[in-house]
Structure 1
Amino acid sequence: MTQAARNVFVASRLPKRAGVSGWVATLASRTPRPALNGSVIADVAIIGGGFAGLSAARRISRLDPGVRVAILEAGVVGEGPAGANSGFIIDLPHEVSSDDFSGESEARFRQSVLIQRSAIALASEMAAENGWGKDIFDPCGRYSVAISAEGDKHLEDYAQQLSKMGEAHRLLTLREIRAVTGSPVYTSGLFTPGTVIVQPAAYIRGVADCLKEPVALYERTPALSFERLGTGWFVKTPQGSVQAAKIIMANNGHAESFGFFRGRLLHVFTYASLTEEFDPSRLDGERKWAATPALPMGTTVRRIGTSGGDRILVRSRYSYNPGIEISDAAIRRAGRLHDSKFSQRFPTLGGVRMQYRWAGAMALTRNHVPAFGEIERGVFAACGCNGLGASNSTASGIAAAELALGHESELGRVYTRLAAPTALPPQPFTTIGAKAHLAYREWRAGPE
């Protein structure tokens, strides 16, 4: 008898941390919320305390402040994939494939903008309410940067598409982008003002700590299983249980660990390194900026200015890991690539070393749609971020909360119209294909 037939869903594995995120390591210590010890009753149980889960809880509390919510976070808030994020809450799609940018491509663009700006609206509301400074939440926009003729061409083409859509942007020449970054390597840039840059671990902590009763957060409390109980659900944890009318699965790729979306999620890790502090006078340009690559799967770079000195974040390298865990050796291998890209982009910073290295898990679908919707009666999924986790996961959490509470919105209508994730090829073809595709995309990005 299958799990679905028995209405019992048991986790086959639990999340594991992939290195120590520099975002977490550079923050002051925080006392986690206590683990669940005993039995509680809630209207909604949320499995996962990252961007999706905490955003869902926030949206529920705004729609109906009386709804009792129990959030079950397997680890410590901010120390999972959310705290490994690069911190871009992006408002525009990275690229649009249509040359003439009409018809279906334009509709997809508008849909993507709606999804991502819904995430920014929720985040902006919380930042204003809680008085978060720019060290946590900074609506400063982002740069896309090129270091090749192909990258320059891509930015020029994308700027034309943005003009057709009436979206604000500014192309930067070699001299102008050098004045921003201090790097002699970048050949052009494209600035778009709508992106919010966050310190992801601090942001996620802030969201968690601003939630109020009757929303309860339990850290170091993995959901081990859940089963049908009357018209609701009974969730087991190591030291307790939650009886809830509804469940929101906000655990991204680990939804598959409970038997959902099997054969439909690609588990991919991306890697980052963060330097030690250095004297700001060693690098020209602005002391705080954030840049994504002109070509997909290139190198993301951020400069972070602090009172003790500046740091540079480098994110690059992707790997397919169907077991949703990676080795320390994989992080070290990616780190060697980061060192090379760092020294190429910032030759004046010779001798500056990377202090922290880590990886973050993503869940991708073959047809680039979220793993979303009511997957069992009273169980709602907000998974399959497809990258852009800060934006897409936040929006999925909002939409799942609205669906669970029966609230209609434009965002919700967009999500309910999306196709379901398509099936992946059987093994070993999925593994062969995924690894080949990632290798090709990284090769295609070239020096970017």
Structure 2
Amino acid sequence: MYVARALPEYTRASGWVDLLPPRRPQDALSGHVTADVAVIGAGFAGLAAARTLQEQDPALRIVLLEASEIALGAAGRNSGFVIDLPHEVSSEDYAGGQASDTRRQIHLNRSAIALIARIAAENGCGRDVFDPCGKYNIAMGSKGDHHITAYARQLDALGEPYRLLDAKAIAEVTGTDRFSSAIHMPGTAIIQPAAWVRLAADSLGPGVRLHERTPVTAFARQGGAWQLTTPHGQVTAPRVILATNGHAQSFGLYAGQLLHVFTYASMSEPFAPARLGGHRSWAATPAFPMGTTVRRVQGTDGDRLLIRSRYTYHARPKIGEADVARAGRVHDRKFAARFPTLRGLRMAHRWGGAMALTWNGVPTVGEIEPGLFSACTCNGVGATKATAAGIAAAQQALGLDTELVDTFRRAAPPRALPPQPWLTLGARLNLRWREWRAGIE
């Protein structure tokens, strides 16, 4: 039996949720139900799994259980980049010599984008929810410039399209002269994560029963089926997909293998578009790993800017308001350095979101034991990797042998982490060193 030692806990909702109108959650599970497949977790991975199951076999009875409400968890706290190409431009893992591995990863990423795009198109989404506009990697100095040009050479070797921008060209996009260069990659999609997750959940067909505010407290295999226990009900299903990212460890799975790292974001109050030149909607990741992500979000009440930066390790997936406040002070400095003409603009929303990482950067996707499939461990690229993991786990649960399943199957097993207290000490020092190394970026 797998028993939850803790349930997911969150700080205040993200700014993405606050921008949306209220939504009535689906009823919590009450009583006993049976299903062909039960999916635990309704974030990117769980929604992708439910949708894939439904597409492959519309006759399936699927139960989708969400511990909180749709978009209040990690998926709704995402920064909204659904990335097709590796975004750590200094990484040697994506050099030309590893082209075959890189191609598999790009296929994995683009499989996720295809599903997200399909759901958006079927529901008539506007560009405020799903925008296939690509993304920029931006630099603020010579160190970032070097990584931009090095990444361009890697893309040349792969035959992938891109566009280089000098300081003047990127200023015409961003409205600020603080960036020194950039590279634009057209294949990334940008989403309003909370709006898209709501849409994906609310557009599931009648074969999927979604229950919110229904945490799974335990599950066990009895005979040929799994029994899932919730506060007010039970689910019996021969197949279960666990799509809970780092929360899988609360059930005793992947002990000593998962790192719980939080990243943080701040979103400004709306401002008149005339206060900042450039395009009204753009999204940029940093040229240097562990740097600062920036998005400009166009709205009917004005535009907003999002700053994402700061990383903290925690022994369990939980933070407090003090952690968010400390990160917010860092964001204010980052914002002032990038947008000096917007002095006095207040940050209206601040939040943190959990990531699950393994030491060697591999996912935990596959069959754990008969009928129990994992779609966990995003390794910091949640919208893309978690969506792909959910698709692959669903395909495995149906006995399909696809290229996506094969890509996950090829991944090495997670490396064991050092014991405490060395793990906490080492992880925190490593994150601080990487942030220091990123410097102004």
Query: Secondary structure in 2 aligned to 1:427?
Result: coil
Q: Deviations over 1:290-311 (max 9, x none)?
A: 0000011100000001111010
Deviation at 1:97, TM superposition (A): 3.4
2:402 matched residue in structure 1? 409
Q: Deviations over 1:245-289 (max 9, x none)?
A: 111110000000001001000000000000001111110110000
* Residue 240 of structure 2 corresponds to residue 281 of structure 1: no
1:228 matched residue in structure 2? 221
Q: Deviations over 1:341-386 (max 9, x none)?
A: 1111111111110001000000000111101111121110000100
* Residue 147 of structure 2 corresponds to residue 154 of structure 1: yes
Q: Deviations over 1:62-110 (max 9, x none)?
A: 111111111110000001100000000000001363499333x222321
2:5 matched residue in structure 1? 12
* Residue 101 of structure 2 corresponds to residue 108 of structure 1: yes
1:366 to 339, 359, 372: 359
RMSD of aligned alpha carbons:
1.1
Equivalences for residues 17-416 of structure 1 within 5 A: 17-94=10-87, 95=89, 97-98=91-92, 101-103=95-97, 105-416=98-409
Query: Secondary structure in 1 aligned to 2:365?
Result: strand
Query: Secondary structure in 2 aligned to 1:220?
Result: coil
Q: Aligned partners of 1:276, 1:406: CA distance in 2, in Å?
A: 49
Gaps spanning 5+ residues in structure 1: where? 1-7
Deviation at 1:416, TM superposition (A): 1.3
Q: Aligned partners of 2:415, 2:189: CA distance in 1, in Å?
A: 31
> Counterpart amino acid of 2:388?
A
Are the equivalent residues in 1 in contact too, given 2:90–2:147 (CA < 8 A)? no
Are the equivalent residues in 1 in contact too, given 2:26–2:210 (CA < 8 A)? yes
Query: Secondary structure in 2 aligned to 1:189?
Result: strand
Alpha-carbon distance change, 10 to 363 in structure 1, aligned in 2, over 3 angstroms: same
Gaps spanning 5+ residues in structure 2: where? none
Are the equivalent residues in 2 in contact too, given 1:66–1:214 (CA < 8 A)? yes
More displaced 10-residue stretch of structure 1: 414-423 or 389-398: 414-423
Alpha-carbon distance change, 210 to 221 in structure 1, aligned in 2, over 3 angstroms: same
2:440 matched residue in structure 1? 447
Deviation at 1:146, TM superposition (A): 0.2
Are the equivalent residues in 2 in contact too, given 1:96–1:109 (CA < 8 A)? no
Q: Aligned partners of 1:318, 1:207: CA distance in 2, in Å?
A: 29
Query: Secondary structure in 2 aligned to 1:316?
Result: strand
Q: Aligned partners of 2:135, 2:119: CA distance in 1, in Å?
A: 21
> Counterpart amino acid of 2:274?
S
Q: Aligned partners of 1:408, 1:81: CA distance in 2, in Å?
A: 29
> Counterpart amino acid of 1:101?
A
Q: Aligned partners of 2:94, 2:46: CA distance in 1, in Å?
A: 38
Query: Secondary structure in 2 aligned to 1:311?
Result: strand
1:3 matched residue in structure 2? none
Deviation at 1:24, TM superposition (A): 0.2
Alpha-carbon distance change, 328 to 424 in structure 1, aligned in 2, over 3 angstroms: same
1:4 matched residue in structure 2? none
Alpha-carbon distance change, 325 to 100 in structure 1, aligned in 2, over 3 angstroms: closer
Are the equivalent residues in 2 in contact too, given 1:45–1:69 (CA < 8 A)? yes
Deviation at 1:20, TM superposition (A): 2.2
Query: Secondary structure in 2 aligned to 1:31?
Result: coil
Q: Aligned partners of 1:144, 1:440: CA distance in 2, in Å?
A: 21
Are the equivalent residues in 2 in contact too, given 1:273–1:354 (CA < 8 A)? yes
Query: Secondary structure in 1 aligned to 2:182?
Result: strand
Q: When the two structures are superposed, what TM-score results if normalisation uses the length of structure 1?
A: 0.97
Q: Deviations over 1:123-164 (max 9, x none)?
A: 111111111111110000000000010100100110111011
More displaced 10-residue stretch of structure 1: 52-61 or 12-21: 12-21
Q: When the two structures are superposed, what TM-score results if normalisation uses the length of structure 2?
A: 0.98
Equivalences for residues 419-438 of structure 1 within 5 A: 419-438=412-431
Q: Aligned partners of 1:203, 1:70: CA distance in 2, in Å?
A: 20
Q: Aligned partners of 1:162, 1:188: CA distance in 2, in Å?
A: 17
User: Structure 1 runs of 4+ off > 4 angstroms?
Assistant: none
Q: Deviations over 1:302-325 (max 9, x none)?
A: 000111101000000000011211
Are the equivalent residues in 2 in contact too, given 1:139–1:196 (CA < 8 A)? yes
Alpha-carbon distance change, 96 to 398 in structure 1, aligned in 2, over 3 angstroms: farther
